[in-house]
A and B are shown apart, each in its own frame.
Chain A
């Protein structure tokens, strides 16, 4: 049915009627959810924070799902084909410790302060200048990133299904605009949880069938060693030097750059994911949600990284980089997941797999525009443009900013279509703000002496230094040996080290400026800083209900997985 609307030149897979019905069924269901939830989104608390009544499970799955977009799935499956199991670091040490830290240490301050957003917390802790810097950069980077993701996904749909790029962009963005405008964050969260289930239902079969075809894990490793290298199945043992692994990275970059800075920056201060946890119904649910998210995050490599490895072993063709694929007519690394879908999935299953990708794409966009709408409404519009807004005016502005956010995203997608290099610059821009913001928020939560001036100048110094390092390497590629400690470092390694240096500079400047300026009185820090906030004890709660107990279980699982694949 849907296929009749589509332009179909060359494509990886062909959809049958039942596949098309499954895709149309998904679109109908998400729109029905949006219309159903409209009547539950009347106040600003309902619209922007889903009424603060989500259970730990819903908030936790949504928290994870907001990050589990389609490009994430295909990109990391492609990365594991290219770099081997090293890509799993981005799911394990590059995510789990940060998620647990958010739940156990940082969430109480976000939740008890009753802030609506991360920039809102900065306003409470450091004042308006820090909020303005953070809110403006986040709001615009978020919609620009949404547009880039939209274009990338439309491109994937063209390659995989032969769909016209404009068709993919407009159908998906109009659907997202309708259901988020109607139901706000609650609608976005419902669809994210639905997406999470669909991704597992659609993608889990690939590693199962792949392992059956390869003859089990041991045989898979042998085939990978034959087709690529035995190094592709080791997580840590080949990270002793920069040029002994496919990624060109040293273990210090993984542990300190990725594990300690970049991942903490993303998972603890990126409002796109933190907003989901703020919707939790009480403090225990808010602490538990990231722990639940971490538990499932730990399992995601089985549907993302493992298929990439299976691709090395079973696919008859050799995949290549995007440029080489375009030049030679071959398949790029990012196509490994769709190629495996086409290899194993017959009618129906193929439709479910494609639906999972579409769902991941749309919920990622919904996450971006709902976070943009909240930050725009609370931290820019109500804070600086219309300070005496009523609750109803905030909801109205939220709905309009959702529509405008989607339109800016569509505009960005078309702009990227004309000027492809914009994509690299905006992605880099986004990364400039994440790592320093973590330094600022963390010091604000843990150190009472940190002052408003310290927070603002630390955040600015971290951001400017990150931009400076990026520009330095762009103008003089030999500077890579200083920024990333090695001339062999690839883009990912450079990002890790840039995050590390900019965070450390942010922290240093915040401390120095704070010591030179007058501190806030302790009465103004209540609910915002460790030592000035009453955090309810877990001691009266049964062990199996304590977030700290489950965090320990997840941490032990993480250690075991790293040892197993050492």
Chain B
């Protein structure tokens, strides 16, 4: 939904994904440099780094395409 002059719901979702993605990505990088004493299973895959990056990119794309003032649906 994106009626005239209003902010699209997808923009809010973009903000959420971008914010969460950056936080998770940063936490993942920190864990690489400071490995935890009790790592999670499959820690070696560094899921929070690539999952955080994927969410941040997805969120950034949504923020760009559904930014306020840009005609879209």
Which residues of A does B touch, CB under 8 Å?
A: 16, 18, 21-22, 25-26, 29, 33, 36, 40, 50-51, 53-55, 58, 186, 190, 193-194, 197-198, 201, 205, 209, 212-213, 342-349, 351-352, 355
Contacts and interface: CB of A to CB of B under 8 A. Distances in A.
Contact of A212 (B15, B16, B30, B42): B42
Contacts of B45: 209, 212
Nearest to A19: B27
Given A347-B31, A348-B28, A349-B24, A209 B9 contact: no
A346 B43 CA distance: 8
Contact of A29 (B3, B16, B41, B43): B16
B39 A352 contact: no
A348 B27 contact: yes
Contacts of A347: 27, 30-31, 48
12 contacts: A18-B23, A25-B20, A26-B16, A201-B17, A213-B42, A346-B28, A346-B31, A346-B43, A346-B47, A347-B30, A348-B27, A349-B48
Contacts of B36: 346
Given A205-B47, A213-B41, A343-B41, A348 B23 contact: yes
B13 A349 contact: no
Nearest to B3: A53
Contacts of B6: 40
Interface residues of B, number: 33
B37 interface: no
A36 B42 CA distance: 41
A40 B9 CA distance: 13
A183 to B, nearest CB: 12
A201 B7 contact: no
Given A213-B42, A348-B23, 6 more contacts: A54-B1, A205-B51, A209-B47, A213-B41, A346-B36, A349-B48
A306 B37 CA distance: 29
A563 to B, nearest CB: 32
A22 B19 CA distance: 8
A21 B19 CA distance: 10
The 10 closest A-B pairs by CB, nearest first: A348-B24, A348-B27, A347-B27, A18-B27, A349-B48, A346-B40, A190-B9, A348-B48, A343-B41, A58-B1
B52 to A, nearest CB: 6
A344 B27 CA distance: 15
Given A55-B73, A194-B13, A212-B42, A349 B47 contact: yes
B67 to A, nearest CB: 15
B27 A201 contact: no
Interface in B23-73: 23-28, 30-31, 36, 39-43, 45, 47-48, 51-52, 55, 73
A193 B27 contact: no
A344 B42 contact: yes
Contact of B40 (A22, A36, A343): A343
A190 B11 CA distance: 11
B39 A194 contact: no
Nearest to A58: B1
Contacts of B41: 209, 213, 343-344
A51 B25 CA distance: 39
A333 to B, nearest CB: 21
B16 to A, nearest CB: 6
Nearest to A198: B16
Contact of B16 (A16, A51, A194, A205): A194
Nearest to B50: A205
Contacts of A343: 40-41
Contacts of B20: 22, 25, 198, 201, 348, 352, 355
- Most chain A CB within 10 A, of B9, B24, B48, is at B9
Contacts of B26: 18, 348
Given A346-B47, A352-B20, A33 B12 contact: yes
- Most chain B CB within 10 A, of A53, A190, A348, is at A348
Contact of B27 (A16, A190, A355): A16
Nearest to B62: A197
- Most chain B CB within 10 A, of A26, A50, A344, A349, is at A349
- Most chain B CB within 10 A, of A16, A54, A197, A344, is at A197
A11 to B, nearest CB: 15
B52 A348 contact: yes
Given A205-B47, A348-B52, A36 B7 contact: yes
